[in-house]
Structure 1
Amino acid sequence: MLLSRRRFVIAGSALTLSAVAGSACAHSIASPADAHDFAVTHTDAQWRDLLTPDQFDVLRRAGTETPYSSPLNDEHRHGTFGCAGCALPLFSSDTKFDSGTGWPSFWKPLAGAIVERTDSTFGMTRTEVLCSRCGGHLGHVFDDGPAPTHLRYCMNGVAMNFTALT
């Protein structure tokens, strides 16, 4: 189950606060692929055919899955986490750690796997993480992770698939 109601309440609150302060929201949610040219592109109708409703909400509409809802949060085998939209390998299991947040977390992506951009939704500024091949929204990166990078790539499990190495 995705956080649709929570997102609605947060967005409504942000708009109300914005109106009271006399300013507009800094950024509206757009399709992740709008800001960059990506190798894999589809229409919304095609993405809906390729993805589950939850995957579409997260990957194409920058939604967020409920914490602790993804089986990938508890995935501990050796392997690779890839984009559910285009199968691009994103993270090695060697960089996965338990952040205690309820979302699969990693301290480093695979080389060339992601694109980062500023996300100013809901009155806060964060760094959004997108798949570099299809522009799918994966999650956000924060600077409170473990060594050696001290980064926490907090990813939506529904946006990824896992391939175990044998």
Structure 2
Amino acid sequence: MKKILIFSLLATFLISCNGNAQKDSDENSSKKYEVTKSEEQWKQELTSQEFAVLRKAATETPFTSDLLDIKKPGTFVCAACGNELYKTKHKFESGTGWPSFDRAIDGGVAYGSDSKLGYQRDEVHCARCGGHLGHVFNDGPRETTGKRHCINGVAMDFKPDSE
């Protein structure tokens, strides 16, 4: 029974953060970004996993990100273009297996919509290069914004604050 419950929870979380929004989103494909490159250029600059997530809207396996447990002060930036996205002070433990934040840095992210799973979700992507980051949900901390930005760790790099 315990295994079935764990499997059910894991499947729910995978569905909650899984998506294929960017590659077919009219909203994203018609927008011009400050950083634009050909698919071949992105393939040369990004790792295969970064390319899959950032450019093809794949989802990394939960609980695998090196960024999941970071608590020290700093900034999470787009792995493709270095754009500042999130601050550690807005990160929280959601239990989903992906880095979660209750808000983004102003102007760091942009939003689109995704209905690939048969229902509407809000997609989050880098405002500078259009890279797919994850999704935003309304089940975040009530004492702050109530939002949960469920972000693929592979889509970001971490820059610690200077000491």
Q: Normalized against structure 2, the TM-score is what? A: 0.82
- Whether the 8 Å CA contact 2:22–2:57 is kept in 1: the answer is no
- Following TM superposition, the consecutive aligned residue runs of length 4 or more in structure 1 with deviations greater than 6 angstroms are none
Deviations 1:13-72 (A, max 9, x none): xxxxxxxxxxxxxx8843785141100000000000110000000000000000001010
Distance in structure 1 (CA, Å) of the matches to 2:146 and 2:30:
27
Partner of 2:95: 100
- Whether the 8 Å CA contact 2:77–2:156 is kept in 1: the answer is yes
Partner of 1:30: 24
Match of 2:146 among 127, 143, 150: 150
Match of 1:71 among 66, 70, 89: 66
- Whether the 8 Å CA contact 1:108–1:149 is kept in 2: the answer is yes
Superposition RMSD in Å: 1.9
Distance in structure 2 (CA, Å) of the matches to 1:103 and 1:28:
19
CA shift, 1:76, in A, is 1.2
Deviations 1:64-88 (A, max 9, x none): 0000010101111110000001000
- Whether the 8 Å CA contact 2:22–2:28 is kept in 1: the answer is no
One-letter amino acid of the counterpart of residue 65, structure 1: E
| 1:87 maps to 2:89 | no
- Whether the 8 Å CA contact 1:76–1:93 is kept in 2: the answer is yes
Match of 2:106 among 106, 111, 115: 111
Partner of 2:155: 159
Partner of 2:131: 136
**Which segment drifts farther, 69-78 or 150-159?**
69-78
5+ residue gaps, structure 2, are 1-10, 16-20
**Which segment drifts farther, 54-63 or 33-42?**
33-42
CA shift, 1:122, in A, is 2.2
Tell me how many residue pairs correspond in the alignment.
Answer: 142
Identity of aligned residues (%): 47
Partner of 1:54: 49
- Whether the 8 Å CA contact 1:103–1:157 is kept in 2: the answer is yes
Report SS of the residue matched to 1:121.
Answer: coil
